[in-house]
Structure formats: C-alpha cells, structure tokens
Amino acid sequence: MCNSTLTMNKFFLLIGLIITACINGQVLYEYPKDQDFYEGGRQGFYGDLQQVVKKNNYKACEKTEVLFMRFIVYPDNTVKYVSDPDTKAVENNKCMKDKVLNAIKQTTKWKAAEVDGKKTAAMFLGIFYDDLLFKNPVNESDFTMPVYMYKDKESNIMKFRENFTKCFDINGYNPIGDYSFIINFDVDTNGEAGFFYIENQSNLDQFNDMVVKCASNTKKSYWKPGLYKGIPVKRYFRFPIRFNAQ
C-alpha cells in the first residue's frame, strides 16, 4: 500500500483496501468544495461518456449490471481507477467495469483539484449502469439505499446514530469548546461498512480508532446492501457528529 500524506486535516483509514495506482504525494478523499473533477461538472462528464458510448456503438451488458467506482485525477489530469476490495461486485459486473474504463480513456476534460493554488491528486466516485451510459430514462425507484439492521430487524439511520452514540465513550477526552467531525464510509454489496475517512480528525489515534469501531458492523448491527433493480450496489454515507462544550 502506498503511504500518502493528506492535507486539510483529513486522513484515511483504509480497511482491506489497496490502491493499485500508488502516488508520490497527496491524495484528497474528495474534491474541495466548488471544484469539479471534469469540465461541466458531473453532468458534463456523463454527457461525454454517453457520446463515447454512442460513437463507438457500445452494446448493453447481457444482464443488468451496476458498479460503484472510484477514480483518482492526478495533477497532470490523467485518471486512474481505484481497485475495489469488493471483488465479488467487480466480478459480477465485469461488463460494466470494462465498458466504463474503455469509455473513460476517450474523455479529455479532466480537471485536477487545487489546494492553495497547487494541483493535487484527488478522488471522485460514481455509480455506473447501462441506463446512464445509454441516456435512457432513470426511475428513482430502481435504486434503494442500504438498510440498517439491528438485532436482525430493519431499522433506520437514526438507530445507527443512537448505537454509534452509545458506543462512543468520550470519557478521558475533553475537547475545548464545541467539537465536530464527519465520518465517511461505504456500505458494500455484502453489507460491510468500510473505507472509513474522518474529516476534522482528532490528533489522538485512540479517539479516531473509536470512531471507526463504533461505525463498523457488529454481531447485533449490520447493513443490508443498497440495490439497483434488485442488484446489490455499494453506496456512500456521510455522517456528521457534534459534541457541545460542557
């Protein structure tokens, strides 16, 4: 695994993840606010993908396929795919993966992220499926979000927050004033929570480890994966936490 230094008071906790395209320097988890990874933003990116698909007469996959994919855009505007540890999802959606990777090679309007006026490698993500690539109408009901399970019963994000709060022991930690952070994580096609990333992390490793521990699956709490037309698909969560000064 490559060792990368992250700026903007952010860090990675990569659980079971190996980024195959290691870089020398910094990789931002996401683009800074108000910056786009592609000219025209996400819609411009999808529009160019659709043009490539049409121009090259790509065919739809033989079965319904959907794949969550991450990429790194480098300072020289080159793009590389981030290897996904959810190998089952990748294998089950090989047609979609190959099609997207081939199409992306023919797109040219990438924009590197900038921090303090310096170009910096940064990641972006997308969910890819044939209706998107062929510009077919998309029904929102085709997608469902992951469902939080507690004691084998379906629950909701509020129960996740409640369990997280119960797990989180702030004894011994005395933040000065109000303190908040955001934990980002994926729920993969197996319902596993992973790829944890904390914004505004503490400078105490034990504190950060507890954040990840309390957001992880347990014997009593886990996730049912999100779906697209009945096919499991990885989804991303952004979860804010705030502690008020006592």
What DSSP string describes 162-198? HHHHHH---TT---SS-EEEEEEEEE-TTS-EEEEEE
Asked whether residue 241 is domain-assigned, the answer is: no
pLDDT at 14 over 80: no
Asked whether residue 89 is domain-assigned, the answer is: yes
Q: Are residues 227 and 123 in the same domain?
A: no
* Domain end position, chosen among 118, 138, 158: 138
Quick: pLDDT tens for 187-200.
999 999 999 999 98
Q: At what angle are helices 205-215 and 157-167 packed, to 10 degrees?
A: 140
* Domain end position, chosen among 88, 113, 138: 138
224 by Cβ neighbours in 10 Å (0-12 / 13-18 / 19+) ranks as: middle
Asked whether residue 76 is domain-assigned, the answer is: yes
Which residue type sits at 246? Answer: Q
pLDDT for the residue 246: 54
**Contact (CB, 8 A) for 155 and 148:** yes
* Sole residue written with tokens 């023919």: 106
Residue 148 belongs to what domain range? 142-231
Tell which phi-psi region holds residue 212, choosing left (phi > 0), alpha (psi between -120 and 50) or beta: alpha
Identify which of 112, 243, 101 has the alpha carbon closest to the alpha carbon of residue 174: 243
Identify which of 186, 196, 200, 241 has the alpha carbon closest to the alpha carbon of residue 7: 200
Kindly report the pTM of this predicted structure.
0.86
Q: Are residues 131 and 216 in the same domain?
A: no
pLDDT for the residue 21: 33
Res. 83 pLDDT band, cuts 50 70 90: very high
Q: Are residues 117 and 59 in the same domain?
A: yes
Asked whether residue 131 is domain-assigned, the answer is: yes
pLDDT for the residue 90: 97
pLDDT at 173 over 70: no
Asked whether residue 240 is domain-assigned, the answer is: no
Q: How many CA atoms lie within 13 A of 92 on its CB side?
A: 16
pLDDT for the residue 179: 77
